Chains A and B, each alone.
Chain A
Amino acid sequence: MSQAVEERHETRDTDLGDEELRARLSKTWGTARGLIGILSTVDHKIIGIRYAVTAFVFLLAGGIMAIIMRLQLARPDSHFVDAELYNQLFTMHGTTMMFLFGVPVGEAFAVYLLPLMVGTRNIAFPRLNAFSYYVYLFGGLMLWGAFALSIRPDVGWFSYVPLANLNFTPGKGPDYWAQMITFTEVAALAVSVEIVVTVLKQRAPGMTLDRIPLFVWTMLVHSFIIIFAMPAIMLASSMLIMERLVGTQFFNPDAGGDPLLWQHLFWFFGHPEVYIIFLPGTAFVSAIVATFSRRPVFGYLPMVLSLIAIGFLSFGLWVHHMFVTGLPEIGAAFFTASSMAIAIPNGVQIFCWIATLWDGKPVLKTPLIFVLGFFFIFVAGGLSGVMLASVPIDTQVHDTYFVVAHFHYVLIGGTVFPLVAAVYYWFPKVTGRLMDERLGKWQFVLAFTGFNVTFFPMHLLGLHGMPRRVYTYPAEMGWGGLNLLASTGALLFFASFLLMLYNMIASARSGALAGDNPWGADTLEWATSSPPQPQNFDRIPCVTSGSPLWDKGDDKAVVGGLKVDERELLVTSVTEARPDIREESPAPSIWPFLAAFATAVAFIGSIYTPWAVTWGSPVVAIVLVAWFWPKTIEENV
């Protein structure tokens, strides 16, 4: 089956010197100019940047909603916004932060970094990757476009029935919400499949399972969690839209259904979702702690086992969101135990990171400072989480600001602080320039102070009985002071992001030049130029340890014999990463964009008529055939 004999005349990388090889590969793997070229690109780095920029725009949008809510709550009896708009704001804030920012931003970093870290030239299924981005973009634009046109979901980011049923919420708000779910989950599932395959099959030769960077292990576990969790929410949101559109009875207790079925399906996804959002944060932390401690992370094996344990346990917790729905006692006890148990692998990870810093020589650059902030905030959020796992406490503070404080400590502490660290850490790789350190440290002061001033008082407000999702409160309750404090903190916290935005723009123009490896890091993304060439590596490296860039010795072995004028990459075996196949990576194509567009039209149409699915499917099918049909005879060999 080998075509090697016939292909002998074609140019291979071994035939060329370094400079000519770089130029030729760059041409082969490059992205064409012009609108069609831009929309056709399959370069994982370009798509990763698009994912990240889009996610950050949604972060800004969700953040502005939060600020409007905090301004409303700063004083008692305030009428800055009315109850209806307030409901829309917290629904859009939660939905945007979870589905349009939290999940995609983790995927964004993986899409950009993972192929570099494992030493390959592109992500697996690069056209699917392009498709997933457009589907995500269209889903986000659809939700926000509808919002601008006053079609606004206002039933919370969880859209509980019966409130979300047609009887109680007429109009199209929840339908747009449900279809946005379908869009973003299609995108997240596609990226997860790409990550799994890239990690298992496209690692550089020699990168055996025990030499995979912890970042990559984390994103592998993250992808498996998505693969098993997201089908639940897709199923649930499809059931919801069918309930509203064609009159199914899944959640109607009078017709044999049950509103709790919605809650079970939602939280079967919703709790793993917390880890889907949090695990990329731990991936960033593992990379940053190792680099700035100047040693590999302490306890590689317990770290990997903890990740896998978190992956499994995250599916055994969902019912702790439903403690007040009247569960059998034995069920509640089981889910209390499992909710507390997940603190163990999380604790193992924290201790391994601390041991790494302890044993290393920590360099206090901005990325590491934000990681230290993460330790403090995330551990505080974890402790209130262990409290909430106990049914009596949960029953007492359910639907109060205590819960709001808890999950913002976990999600912002666990994800956003590592994310800011990651931005400072990988910015030089992406742009070739370092971000300003002085501004970075000021940003940390603003963010850490602002965050704690905002969210710590919410613990107290919750214990004082202030409920969530109320647009205002009477002065007699005595909640005014702490709320004013929280709102002041929110402005500080928001300002820290504006400072980061300024730092990014200014540094991209005139920051200090970074070079290939400004931090002296050990993983392969730092072995190539900043920003990397379209082909990522001129010659695919071979790996002999878990920290390839810290290896002593001059003999850096590389792969030779790949074609230069075709998009050829190396497929290796799953466990030992032995070279196995020279597989052709798909070339740029406009069809993924068109397929995403056709899918978007069908999905949006289905909000208004089920026939949109009937008429949309053949169109999508035709576009998909065009996508997959070989264009040249050479693609078959």
Chain B
Amino acid sequence: MARSVIDVSGLPTYAFGSRVTPWWGTFSFCLLEGTGFALGIGGYLYLAVTNKDWAKDAVPLSLLWSALFTLVLVVSALPNFLIKRAAMRESLRSVRLLLLIMSAIGLVLIGLRIMEFSALPVRWSDNAYGSFVWLLLGLHGVHVLTDVADTLVLAVLMFTRHGTGKRFSDAEDNAFYWYFVVLSWLPLYAVLYWLPRL
């Protein structure tokens, strides 16, 4: 049987962005986790609208730790952008340095979130409002924690003999997910801290 052949031997073994499968995997996880956040906010608003006892006598959440957290988180988008760029250029020196910076920022953010929890004026068991505050902050906190852990492991990885080739694509993918962590916080921040003040 005659058989023509499409030669793929010259194709690369890795690439960046939406060309590779991990990007689509991360994107799918962002979709499903984003749905989780949206439903969490939906539940919070549903109770706020339907239950007249919602957040009765509640002290508004303090703006201090959350403002610092939001500020650091938004600023982190810059080194995150630089990592993405450095990874695509496969510049090992820059990627290493920026991963260390992002790891440090991540640890600061975890510290700020712990301060936030310890300063909360309401406990999860006080009322449904308290339950939701803890749930939403916790849910987002888990995302911060997961990606910071991932960043730390990646930072270590890039200082070993494995810091080459496809691992730059991993670094870029990790930066992509961090954008989701940043973006998913903003509506939560608005709903938890500013909506009750309107």
Interface positions of A (Cβ within 8 A of B): 1-4, 12, 14, 124-125, 189, 192-193, 196-197, 200-202, 205, 227-228, 230-232, 234-235, 239, 242, 246-258, 260-261, 264-265, 268, 542, 554-562, 568, 570-571, 573-574, 579-584, 621, 625, 628-630, 633, 635-637
**A200 x B24 contact (CB < 8 A):** yes
* Across-interface contacts of A573 in B (CB, < 8 A): 19
Query: Please, which residues of chain A bring their CB within 8 A of the CB of B164?
Result: 636-637
Q: For the complex formed, measure the closest distance between the CB of B15 and the CB atoms of chain A, giving whole angstroms.
A: 5
Cβ of B82 within 8 Å of any chain A Cβ, yes or no, is: no
User: Do A227 and B51 contact each other (CB < 8 Å), given the known contacts A250-B132, A255-B126?
Assistant: no
- B100–chain A nearest beta-carbon distance, Å: 18
Chain A residues whose CB sits within 8 angstroms of the CB of B127 once the complex forms: 249, 255-257
Highest count of chain A CB atoms <10 Å: which of B1, B10, B14: B14
Asked if B20 is an interface residue, CB under 8 A from chain A, the answer is: yes
By the criterion CB–CB under 8 Å, are A257 and B5 in contact?
Answer: no
Known: A205-B6, A560-B9, A621-B149. A258 touches B46 (CB 8 A): yes
- CB of A560 within 8 A of CB of B5, answer yes
The distance in angstroms between the C-alpha atoms of A625 and B167, with both chains bound, is 14
A557-B3, A630-B157, A630-B167 known; 12 other A-B pairs, CB under 8 Å? A3-B12, A3-B165, A192-B28, A205-B6, A256-B54, A257-B47, A257-B131, A561-B11, A579-B8, A581-B11, A581-B19, A582-B12
The interface residues of chain A lying within 8 Å CB-to-CB of B125 are 246-249
A200 smallest CB distance to B (angstroms): 6
Residues B128 and A630 in contact, CB atoms below 8 Å apart: no
B172 within 8 A of A: no
Are A637 and B166 in contact, CB atoms less than 8 angstroms apart? yes
- Which of A196, A234, A582, A628 is within 8 Å of B36, CB to CB? A234
Residues in chain A near residue B56, CB distance under 8 A:
256
Q: Is the CB of A261 within 8 A of B3?
A: no
B39 part of interface (Cβ distance < 8 Å): yes
Min CB distance B148 to A, Å, is: 11
B64 at the A interface (CB under 8 A): no
Cα distance A261–B49 when bound, in Å? Answer: 12
Chain B residues, CB < 8 A from A635:
166
The chain A residue sitting closest to B43, CB to CB, is A261
Number of A-B residue pairs having CB atoms within 8 Å of each other in the complex: 206
List 16 A-B pairs, Cβ < 8 Å.
Answer: A4-B12, A248-B134, A249-B125, A249-B126, A249-B130, A250-B43, A258-B50, A268-B39, A555-B3, A555-B4, A562-B9, A579-B11, A580-B11, A580-B19, A583-B20, A630-B157
Q: When the two chains form the complex, which single residue of A196, A227, A560, A621 contacts B6, counting CB atoms closer than 8 Å?
A: A560
Contacts of A629 in B (CB 8 A): 153, 157
Closest Cβ neighbor of A253 among chain B residues: B51
Known: A192-B28, A555-B4, A571-B21. A256 touches B11 (CB 8 A): no
Do A261 and B39 form a contact, CB below 8 Å, given A228-B32, A559-B6?
no
The 5 closest A-B pairs by CB, nearest first: A561-B9, A257-B128, A248-B131, A560-B5, A256-B128
Which residue of A125, A200, A256, A582 contacts B47 across the interface (Cβ within 8 Å)? A256
Please name all residues of chain A whose beta carbon is closer than 8 Å to the beta carbon of B149 when the two chains form the complex.
621
